[in-house]
Homo-oligomer: A and B are copies of this chain.
Amino acid sequence: MHMANAFDPESAPEVPARTAELLTRREAVLSASYRLFYREPVEVVRAEGAWLYDSAGRPHLDMYNNVPAIGHSHPAVTEAVTRQLGRLNTHTRYLTEGILDYSEALLETFPAALDQVTYACSGSEAVDLAVRMARFATGREGIIISAHAYHGTTALAASLSPSLGVNNSVAEAVATVDMRPGMDVETLAAKVRSAAVDLEARGHGVAAVIFDSIFSSDGVLPDPVGGLAAAADVARAFGGCVIADEVQPGFGRTGTMWGFSRHGVEPDLVVLGKPMGNGMPISAVVSRREISDAFGASVRYFNTFGGSPVCIAAAQGVLDVITASLLPRHAEQLGQVLADGLAVRAGHTALLQDVRAAGLFVGVDTPGADTAAAIVNGLRERRVLISASGPGADVLKIRPPLVFDEAEAEVFFAALDDTLEDLEPS
């Protein structure tokens, strides 16, 4: 299956000489698994706040990247990392204080029962570990996921990621729940129940349900609010754990620090990643003690770079900025600005349909994958970077750094209006 918004060398337009040279060098050394974005790929050489600058010095408004949550090249991270790199960067088999300070501060943002943390490098590693913990604690194998889920790239995480396409094999001990815009809580709960019954019938039992509370790869589905609480009740009735994959919605993006809060659910395991270090590789599993105790008493887990002093320093810098700048509230406010502006435009053009948002995670339905690609690439030509998502690759995915502001929203709307005007049948 073709990735939404992937560069396709076969159907590529004439590209500038500089781009062609980089593409040739890239093809020579980087493996065939790599994909670039956009009909014409973007070379970036510098970034600040919500802006990426290309090799000609031209600014591109970044409305896609969720990793640099506190803004590209934020000095708080650069300073914390520089200080720590010059002093100590080792691992968790020695005592160091920074990891304790950070863990205590991080866990303060969680419900009291979620009081243990384990660090890794990537969201994929953290998903992989959370699923291992859930399977070990329950003694069961079955995992319930959404039908177009993406949970990562380790063999295990990829086996829980149908969105990676038909050549990526999904695990046998998996049952899927087909998510649709507008689905109500009862329907979602009934689907989770069917999946659980199916897993039991196939002899796997239910080890866990794992959901991204914004269902990003399923097409950005913030609703139904409360759906995850209902799904959790079902999973627990079958003896399973509840894993919240907060790699995408976490750290304030959806208007609350954690996406699961929006649904009124307390998970058993929470997976953190992407924005945690603003680009420094750090991820984590936050757990209820009884679950990580069951696993950890029997199975040790050592991740050489997981929770290293330098990555922890970056994460501490990020958490401090998120807290001090009230970024979750800012995300909620700016998300509303985006959602309102998009809804107005959707009222005037058939190219934009349903607008869905929770904070600065926004999805917009279009009539189809071609339209979505045309809008994404039209914006890219106007130096505004978004992408597309969903089972049909027909949903615009808009997800700027959390420091995105109203003036930048105006830049986006101007570029969008221009793009839509170009695409409208006249």
Contact A35 B292 (CB under 8 A): no
A273 within 8 A of B: yes
Q: Which residues of B contact A34 (CB under 8 A)?
A: 92, 118, 296, 300-302
Q: Which residues of B contact A308 (CB under 8 A)?
A: 279, 281
Query: Footprint of B on A, CB under 8 Å?
Result: 3, 19, 22-23, 25-26, 28-37, 41-47, 52, 65, 67-68, 72-73, 75, 77-78, 81-82, 85-97, 99-100, 103-104, 107, 115-118, 120-125, 128-129, 131-132, 153-156, 158, 164-165, 167-168, 273-274, 278-281, 285, 287, 292-293, 295-306, 308, 310-311
Number of copies: 2
Minimum-distance CB pairs A-B, first 10: A32-B296, A33-B296, A33-B301, A121-B121, A167-B298, A281-B305, A31-B292, A43-B95, A89-B279, A155-B156
Contact A279 B45 (CB under 8 A): no
Q: How far is the CB of A291 from chain B (nearest CB, A)?
A: 9
Q: How far is the CB of A286 from chain B (nearest CB, A)?
A: 9
Bound complex: CA A41 to CA B115 (Å):
23
Bound complex: CA A153 to CA B299 (Å):
10
Residue of A28, A32, A118 with most chain B CB atoms under a 10 A cut-off: A32
Q: How far is the CB of A370 from chain B (nearest CB, A)?
A: 21
Which of B92, B97, B298 is in CB contact (< 8 Å) with A22? B97
Residue of A115, A156, A300, A302 with most chain B CB atoms under a 10 A cut-off: A300
Contact A67 B29 (CB under 8 A): no
Q: CB-nearest residue of chain B relative to A65?
A: B90
Contact A115 B29 (CB under 8 A): yes
| 19 examples of A-B residue contacts, CB within 8 angstroms | A22-B100, A32-B293, A33-B118, A33-B292, A33-B302, A42-B95, A45-B87, A45-B96, A52-B88, A65-B90, A81-B81, A81-B85, A82-B82, A89-B278, A122-B305, A124-B154, A155-B156, A164-B300, A167-B298
Contact A37 B94 (CB under 8 A): yes
Contact B292 A103 (CB under 8 A): no
Check A103/B296 contact, CB under 8 A, given A125-B125, A153-B303. Answer: no
Check A42/B297 contact, CB under 8 A, given A30-B118, A121-B125, A274-B304. Answer: no
Which of B46, B86, B128, B304 is in CB contact (< 8 Å) with A123? B304
Q: Which residues of B contact A68 (CB under 8 A)?
A: 89-90
Q: How far is the CB of A402 from chain B (nearest CB, A)?
A: 16
Bound complex: CA A125 to CA B152 (Å):
11
Q: How far is the CB of A173 from chain B (nearest CB, A)?
A: 12
Residue of A37, A68, A94, A96 with most chain B CB atoms under a 10 A cut-off: A94
Q: Which residues of B contact A118 (CB under 8 A)?
A: 30-31, 33-34
Given A44-B95, A156-B156, 11 additional A-B pairs, CB 8 A: A26-B95, A26-B100, A29-B115, A31-B295, A43-B97, A44-B94, A45-B97, A73-B85, A73-B89, A78-B85, A124-B303
Q: How far is the CB of A162 from chain B (nearest CB, A)?
A: 13
Contact B33 A300 (CB under 8 A): yes
Contact B165 A300 (CB under 8 A): yes
Contact A29 B116 (CB under 8 A): yes
